[in-house]
Structures are given as C-alpha cells and as structure tokens.
Structure 1
Amino acid sequence: MGTTVRRAVLLGGLLWMAGVAQATAPEKAPLPRQLQFDFKATVQADGSVMDVEPDAALPEPIRAMIRTRVATWRYTPLRWQGNAVPSPVLQQIKAETVSMPNGGVALRVIEVTGQTRTFRSADRPAGVPMPPPRFPPELMREGVNAVLVYSVLYDEAGKPQQVDLVYPAKSDRVTKRLDQAARDAMREWVAPQTFGGEAIVCRARVPITFTTTVDGRSLRVPPEVDASFGKYTDLCPAAKLETEVVGTFL
C-alpha cells in the first residue's frame, strides 16, 4: 500500500497543502516525534508576556506547561516611529519528543513561529486576502524543496507596491520558476498594516517555503539574511521573540 506525501507552500504563517500518492519507502530508524502547540498571548510595551492562552484542544497538563514556560519569555515589543505599545501575538511552538534516561519523555523546542493555517487544494476559497502561490506541478514531481525570502513594501490599502527577492541571492531554473509563482500570488494580496488603529505604509519580511516533505527543518534561512533587514527604516511593526528557546525544554 502506498503512503501520502504532503506537497506544501508556506508563506509566513499560511500553509497550503495537497496530498500526492507515493510508493512506500524502505523503513528507516524512527525519528523523534514532532508536535505543534498553538498559543496566543499579549506582549506588553516592556516586552514581558501576559495572558498566555494555549490551544483549548490541548490536554490541560500541556496547557499549563505552555502557560508557565511562555510567561518567562521576553519579546521585542511592537514599535512604530519610536513608540512601543502592547500587542497580541499568535505563535506556534514546534517541539520534538526526547527519551530521557529514566524512561520518561521530554519536549524539546525546535522552533517558534507564527501560527500555521492549512488549506487543501480542493477547499481553497475564492477571494482570500493572501492566496498562496501555486506550487508548479513539474517542480512538485521533482521533489523540490526551497525557501524564498522577500522584502515587500505595502501601501496604506495593504497592496504590495515593491517586491524584492532577498534570498537566495543567486537565481537558477528552479528559483526563477518559484519566484514567478510567488509574485503571481502576491499580485492578489491585500494585507493592510496598521499601528494604533491607523493604516501605515511599511515593509515586511515575507518568507515563502515550497516543500514536498512534512519536515522542513533543513530549509533554514541563513542568519545574515534576517540581519540584512536591519538596514530598513520602514519595517512593519511586529513583536519579536528575544528569548533563545530553540533546544530548551518545555
């Protein structure tokens, strides 16, 4: 019997997935089981965290663990033109199970990202504000996995006015094809940016990941790419996690 491999397009916190049948691969050594936990919280103007609310569907012991752990984290607060204000954050903790010497199991943090929403190809609604790129079928068949990072300048209506591919720096056949798919989607985007209830013109870092596997940990963006956004003075305000949590335990 065959298995199903997910083909996905990930843009920031938006994930589009479609199932494709594939012959069963030879068995390999089991990998640590990966889990995802969603939560929302409020980042105060001083960067502290309050009102942590894990996904209500999680077991209460896990919810209590997340509340206790996240309450110790610190964020760079939401800022615009020198002013900091409290802001809500929606985050997803990706963790893996680790067997302990005493026979127990611990949860080790792999990554903390924005929450992920899933759209199946057959259920994709018409007129969504940020339609995901269409994964080029020929590249899906080739098993392509790639991440592209853009600098996108939004106008007051939330329409992209300037789209620059920041990563990868070198373009090949695959990158050009994926870049075109991403730009075709972004032409339809409407993502108004606001601060204090007022519409603003600002620039956002937009990662888009095209992947044919569930485990995308190998698709890391080099740190210098994120650091390069520090040169912009018009970045859209966003609270950013400061606490180093990757590799720590919940």
Structure 2
Amino acid sequence: MAKQVGKAGSGARKMAEKRTLIIYGTLLGFILAGSFLLKFAGKILLFNSYWVNLFGLLIAGVGIGVFIAVFMIATDSKEVDQPINRALKGAKAEEKISEILGQLPEGYTVFNDFPCPMGNIDHIVVGPTGIFIIETKSHSGEVTLSQEGKLLLNSKELEKDFLKQVLGQTFWLKERMVGLLEKTPFINPIIVFTNAFVKIDKPVKGVRIVNKKWLIDAINENKVQLSDEAIKRIVSFLTVIKQE
C-alpha cells in the first residue's frame, strides 16, 4: 500500500470550524448589540423630553430591527449552515480520495493537504509513474466542457475556475523543484470528482478530469517512469516543504 503523509481533509475541516465561529459569533454579536440598544433606549425613555424620547424610540426600533434580522437569518438554517456544510463535504471527499490513493502499491507516497500559496493542494502523489497534483471536488451532477474550454456542472459554469487553480499549483510546485534533479520531472495535474459523472475524455489544458473510479487508472497509465533514486529525492524534498 502507498505511504500516506499528512491527514486528508484537515484544512477543509479547519475552514468549517472557522466559518462556524465567524457565522455564529457574528449572530451572537448582533444579539448582544440589540440587547444593549433596547436597554439603552429604555433608560432614555425615562426622561421627560419629547426629543430625547423620540431618540430613545429610534434606538429601540434599531434594536428590535437587529433582533428581527437575527431571527430571520437564524431560522433559515440552510443559509447559515451552507458554507459550513460545503467545507465539511469537501473534507469528506478528500478523505475518500486519500483512502483510494492508499490502494496504490508500495513505492508510492501520498502527501495530503499540502501547503501552497494558491491554497492547499489536496493530494500530491509521487511514485514510479510520476508526480501528480490532485484537486478533489465533491460536486454532484454531470461535468462537461464548454466550447470555450471551461468546466460545466449540469450545463452551468462552476463557482470557481478549478483548471486555473490546479494549473497554478502545478506551476508553483514545478518552480520549487527546479534544480532538484538533473531534469525537472513533469507534474501531472488531475481534478477528481467524487460524486459527479464526468463526460470529458481528453485532458483539458493538460489537466485530466476524472471520476474517483478512474483515478487509480489515470495514475497507473501514465507513461513517465521515475527511478527509485528520483522518487526518494522528491519525497524527501516534499517532506521538508510540508514541514515549513
């Protein structure tokens, strides 16, 4: 079985935790602000002055408005939890792909949640058939390609340019590896969908797009061959970068 380095999905789970703190922390802040405004308004209304009382009523109105806004947001659980659930879904997808990559034979090393300036790389695989950068997506539906060369999900553009993302990560890693070997090895970018049906047969801008069922085949079928010495040096190099 392949050697695993790092825990898959850890970055996505941290993102979910951060989003939870931000979203529910903001709601709590609004509740406290609304409570303060109502309490402050109550004290102002004790004054025997028309203008002061009017000001107090305005503050009370703002406080009530804050509570109504918080109530409407909080009762729409889908709107509140969607960013959190999206991150958790992504984490589970990365964990599933890590499990699949673990089925590769001995001689392969899988780096999970690898740090990168363009956003953490979900997986880097190093083995006899080459180096692979794998970006995992948990979307459901049908993945196709537009006439302009953009990925589509159910005939609509995705929320982000995943091709640009994985290519940016690939170029970054290639630059970091310059001088490591006599000849810088080619890095194979792959976008893998865990739940979507992929109707793209050929690489797009050099990027393979596959369903998780064909991920191992995409790695095994690569014609590049790395020597044991090259694999050892690359794995050692990536281990150092991951610990930076």
Q: After TM superposition, is the score higher than 0.5?
A: no
> Per the shorter chain, which TM-score range?
under 0.3
- Normalising by the residue count of structure 1, what TM-score does the alignment of the two structures yield? 0.24
- Normalising by the residue count of structure 2, what TM-score does the alignment of the two structures yield? 0.24
Greater helix proportion: 2
Larger Rg: 2
Higher relative contact order (CA 8 A, sep 6+): 1
